[in-house]
Structure 1
């Protein structure tokens, strides 16, 4: 009874309905000792979001080739910019649950082939325009257009028709049932943009509905924002100003947080975690989700179009060594599928691709290849990517496979190397469902299929299974479909998933956040600017 009473008083204190002195008096009257009452009051106030201040974030991502077009976003910097300036129909909250965002609710019918989204009323874009169903439809059609280069195009390929029912209701008709569709519409690329004459006139416009208004943007350098005074979300977007700075160099990023030049950094190198943890003004934050580090081989490019060559490399990697030496234990070995035990329908019976010099040599000889294999790499791919590639080259050499490392510039890596060079290093933040992960990076219709595994008997069967599982309501059948999809992908696909990595951040102790921190992306679901505050 007393605990409930104190919780109510604490809520009133956090909401400003009573002051600190009143709270302490009521806590003492409820039986708390004076020191305990003082401590509790301090803790409540420290956990209460406060408005104000300039938040400076140091990002390991960003390139001079970046743009504001949400459809072309391909790294953590542009993703954070999207979430600061815009919103989506749904979002994954900091506690990992899917909740409505610009939608006020959603309901399926017709075996999940029809989805009705009711929109929040009164939401304004930064230019004062009221958001309506027309904006939602125009946004989705922008990504769905047959000439679209949006990374979300493949995700939305199952949409047959979009229509409105008044200004505040949107109805999606799908080719087949999809129980995961509300997750799909939370994809960061599908930020709702203002429409004009039924379409999106400028996808590079900074205008959104988000908690912050873009003041300036220099791709690959920095983005500056000011708080949106008309933001529709209560208890979010607390900072007066936000500055996001690209600090792709690991040492520069580390020095910036140690010197107080920024308040928060992502992608702390596991090798420097202990050092940063000893700095009195800093805290280390680790979250574990679906991030994984890969070396995608494009199967439409020789020599990676050869099954045995791909299999040779899958057996030529010492995955535990990568976890031990690159992640310093902050993760777990990969097994050449973008799915782990945290996701539904994970195949627990997949063969394990552990280092086996004899098997690697057997498949390599069978491939008929000779000469060095080129692996393009940069630490822009993930922290320690160059060192990881060196370990891969060393273990492959034990199987008689020669790998030549091609060190690529960090700037422009995601535009000029990834998804273009035959073999490179890459990271994936992961997705909460298998269908979403496959639709983002592995099905034949997505722009981000960085292995180009799109045709052939195994790829054809994989694509059929993904479509079938999407609408399957029988859990046992859906499990069988996803297990078979994983088996095909692991065996025939071009993904070398080397390791699953924890997200590691460092921030000043002056920053505060809710107890739950999202792990669907790094930086609190890439929404640190919206969810955090200065204590």
Structure 2
């Protein structure tokens, strides 16, 4: 049964088949696999992300589908490389003052947008300013808030910060900060124009997008595919079916329960990359009962983290400790006491809150992360011993991020993490941040974060970040029970670099540029 219509993917066709049947019917593809990149071919991608409410407004992007689009069609000042370091893109080079408060980024000459317009420093200024100011509606506003002024000096853009920030080049790699054409009142994001290695041909939110290689791109060492078709397949079964039926070449967010079966297929390559991705349950600290830190602690001790890693991640991950910093990151707090499942301690904190029992609802959908509903059910079972009646509410996949996340008081969430601690904390943990999904405010935390950002002494900086993690773990509103490996699959027709980036799924969501047909 073919799921291709006129050479394009038929989304409805996927939903008419079953993953089990497709796995059983899959046949070897055969062929030789080259080890060096070459140009050619039409790549078909099934993403477990995307919703009908998505737009091309960079300030609103919040899922892997839109992240993948911007890394293909746009250029950012910098990029996170596969080894975790930061490298130049639209910015050819940069330098900082001794106190790291002033940064000068030299803009690369000869870059053009897909419309033919030459990229200028003015486009850079307008693109960053789009996310600044009281009237800005952007998830990136907290991370650019330290910028006091942006000026132009010839081919150089100068950033003046309100304090030192040794990580500033990393900040400018954030996927919300593409360089787009300047307009009289901001930037042109509606047309889809960009300066990246692929041109966006079609964008149908929550359905499909198509891109073609930009033959005029300034880089010649990226963008090997002639064209790309990316399908939004939030349904786990549809995504798996598409892969094993040969109707897509790669998918993310694999159903970890089926990996054993998938790995037997000689034509599939399963990749597991440990990184900063973490799955969470966010409590709204601005609403009862979660406005009581004792209730939050009770909820944290009522979850069996080891069980979730075993039964939801099937070992493809590690136990979390309610901090969004991965064990491989520079300032991870190795001495922070690990929380374990302890119903008695959970009961103790309930009593501290003046409660003998607690009844709450937890919203979840597989759009949050694969297995989120099952994880919520396991949480429900473990919480009973602590006197917590946790009711699981299965929410629709479509619209989850617009209608449930940060709307319902307790919900399942996935985070890709960020390459540096300041960026992660600023994005989701500072008071009033657009994506502070715990609605948590802590004055000491906010003050210390500013100090750590400006501190250039590495030992002092480590102490500060360790204290920040302790505050979040013990007082924060986010339960982080597990860090999940990025597990994705490709057919063996796809060539990939030896080192895969771990800052986002699927090679840092730069698969469009870095992979090729072997």
TM range (shorter): over 0.9
Partner in structure 2 of residue 74 of structure 1:
62
Contact 1:340 1:346 in 2 (8 A): yes
Q: Does residue 40 of structure 2 align to residue 57 of structure 1?
A: no
Secondary structure at the counterpart of residue 183 of structure 2: coil
Q: Which residue of 2 aligns with 1:494?
A: 477
Distance in 1 (CA, whole Å) between partners of 2:266 and 2:482 is 31
Residue 503 of structure 1, aligned match among 486, 502, 514: 486
Paired position in structure 1 for 2:353: 367
Secondary structure of the corresponding residue to residue 43 of structure 2: strand
Distance in 1 (CA, whole Å) between partners of 2:372 and 2:163 is 40
Larger mean Cα displacement after TM superposition, 415-424 or 316-325: 415-424
SS, match of residue 300 in structure 1: coil
Q: CA deviation at 1:147?
A: 1.0
Partner of 1:376: helix, strand, or coil?
strand
Whether the 8 Å CA contact 1:155–1:446 is kept in 2: the answer is no
Residue 260 of structure 2 is aligned to residue 274 of structure 1: yes
CA distance in 2, matches of 1:503, 1:177: 33
| Aligned partner of 1:182 among 169, 179, 195 | 169
Structure 2 residue corresponding to 1:398, chosen from 375, 385, 397 = 385
Deviation track 1:196-240 (CA, whole Å, cap 9, x = no partner) reads: 23x424333300001111111110001011111101112111111
1:241 is matched with 227
Higher strand fraction (1 or 2): 2
Separation in 1 of the partners of 2:291 and 2:470?
19
Out of 316, 319, 322, which is 1:330 matched to?
316
How far apart, in 1, do the equivalents of 2:191 and 2:258 lie?
A: 38
- 1:452 corresponds to 2:435: no
Partner of 2:159 in structure 1? 172
Name 1:216's counterpart in structure 2. 202
Aligned-pair CA distance for 1:365: 2.8
Go from structure 1 to structure 2 and tell me whether the alpha carbon gap of 1:201 and 1:352 turns closer, same or farther (over 3 Å shift).
Answer: closer
Q: Which has the larger radius of gyration?
A: 1
Is the contact made by 1:292 and 1:497 (CA closer than 8 Å) also made in structure 2?
Answer: yes
* Separation in structure 2 between the aligned mates of residue 348 and residue 474 of structure 1, nearest angstrom: 19
Matches within 5 A, 1:261-300: 261-300=247-286
Preserved contact between residue 298 and residue 345 of structure 2 (Cα < 8 Å): yes
State the partner residue of 2:497.
514
Matched residue SS, 1:143? coil
Q: Give ranges in structure 1 of 5+ residues lacking alignment.
A: 1-41
Give the distance between the partners of 1:203 and 1:293, measured in 2 at CA: 30
Aligned-partner SS, 2:501: coil
Task: State the distance in 1 between where 2:295 and 2:61 align.
Answer: 32
Q: Which residue of 2 aligns with 1:196?
A: 183
- Cα distance in 2 between the residues matched to 1:299 and 1:227: 46
Take 1:472 and 1:64, find their aligned partners in 2: how far apart are those partners?
43
- How far off is 1:371 after superposition? 4.9
Query: Structure 2: where are the runs of 5+ without partners?
Result: 1-30
> Matched residues in 1 for 2:103 and 2:150: separation?
10
Cα separation, 2, equivalents of 1:201 and 1:467: 29
In the alignment of these two chains, the number of paired residues is 487
Matched, 1:341 2:324: no
How many Å separate the matches in 2 of 1:462 and 1:95? 30
Counterpart for residue 25 of structure 1: none
Q: 2:94 aligns with which of 106, 112, 122?
A: 106
Matched residues in 2 for 1:193 and 1:429: separation?
A: 24
Q: Partner residue of 2:421? A: 434
1:69/1:205 contact within 8 Å kept? no
TM-score under structure 1 length normalisation:
0.89
Q: CA deviation at 1:477?
A: 1.6
**What secondary structure, in the 3-state scheme, does the structure 1 residue paired with 2:53 have?**
coil
1:378 aligns with 2:376: no
Matched, 1:470 2:457: no
| Cα distance per residue 1:64-87 (max 9 Å; x no partner) | 010011111010001001111101
Q: Which residue is equivalent to 2:81?
A: 93
Deviation of 1:445 (Å)? 4.2
Native 8 Å contact 2:84 2:419 kept in 1: no
RMSD: 1.3
Is the CA contact 2:331–2:465 (under 8 Å) kept in the aligned structure 1?
Answer: yes
Q: Is residue 309 of structure 2 the alignment partner of residue 310 of structure 1?
A: no
